[in-house]
């Protein structure tokens, strides 16, 4: 007994002088990747999952349309509604909205406008079909069903 040598404590410490640099690097990463939301989402958005996801090359061609139950049910009711830009619109207004969005694009790309439909899981096919009929009327036939990746 008593044979254990007392360990000599060496003054080891992690050098922290580079810490600010590392933090700044992370900070810049997040600053660059951040997209600040320019609009409030007024409807529920639980995006369904899928496996066969595709990514579009040109983000400028995409316009977003949000469909879901309004968050403020007292004001807008509990039926699924369509949100474009930052207002809730009714189906007949979709054509006008699509035309506005299309006018923002350069002339060569107008035929390629893609509508990304961000639809809540709870929504039934009825409202979606109505929106799609309007999109067909507006001749915006490229539709992207927004979904998140599924791990399987």
Task: Provide the binding-site residues for other proteins, judged by CB under 8 A.
Answer: 16, 19-20, 23-24, 26-27, 30-31, 33-37, 48, 50-57, 59, 62, 79, 114, 116-117, 119-126, 128-129, 132, 135-137, 139, 141-149
Report residue 68 as tokens: 């879901």
| Residue 85 contacts residue 41 (beta carbons within 8 Å) | no
| Residue 84 contacts residue 100 (beta carbons within 8 Å) | no
| Residue 84 contacts residue 134 (beta carbons within 8 Å) | no
Measured from the CB atom, the residue of 7 and 115 that comes closer to other proteins is: 115
Distance of closest approach, residue 83 Cβ to other proteins, in angstroms: 16
Cα-based angle 78, 69, 77 (whole degrees, multiple of 5): 25
Measured from the CB atom, the residue of 5 and 55 that comes closer to other proteins is: 55
Distance of closest approach, residue 67 Cβ to other proteins, in angstroms: 8
3-state secondary structure of 115: strand
Distance of closest approach, residue 6 Cβ to other proteins, in angstroms: 35
């Amino acid at each position: 007994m008593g044979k254990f040598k007392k360990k000599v404590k060496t003054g080891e410490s992690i050098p922290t002088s580079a810490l600010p640099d590392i933090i700044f690097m992370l900070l810049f990463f997040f600053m660059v990747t951040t997209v600040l939301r320019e609009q409030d989402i007024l409807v529920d958005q639980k995006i369904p999952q899928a496996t066969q996801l595709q990514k579009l090359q040109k983000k400028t061609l995409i316009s977003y349309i949000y469909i879901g139950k309004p968050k403020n049910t007292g004001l807008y009711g509990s039926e699924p509604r369509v949100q474009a830009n930052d207002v809730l619109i009714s189906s007949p207004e979709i054509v006008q909205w699509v035309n506005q969005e299309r006018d923002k694009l350069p002339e060569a790309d107008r035929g390629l406008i893609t509508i990304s439909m961000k639809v809540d899981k709870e929504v039934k096919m009825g409202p979606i079909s109505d929106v799609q009929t309007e999109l067909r009327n507006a001749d915006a036939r490229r539709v992207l069903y927004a979904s998140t990746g599924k791990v399987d």
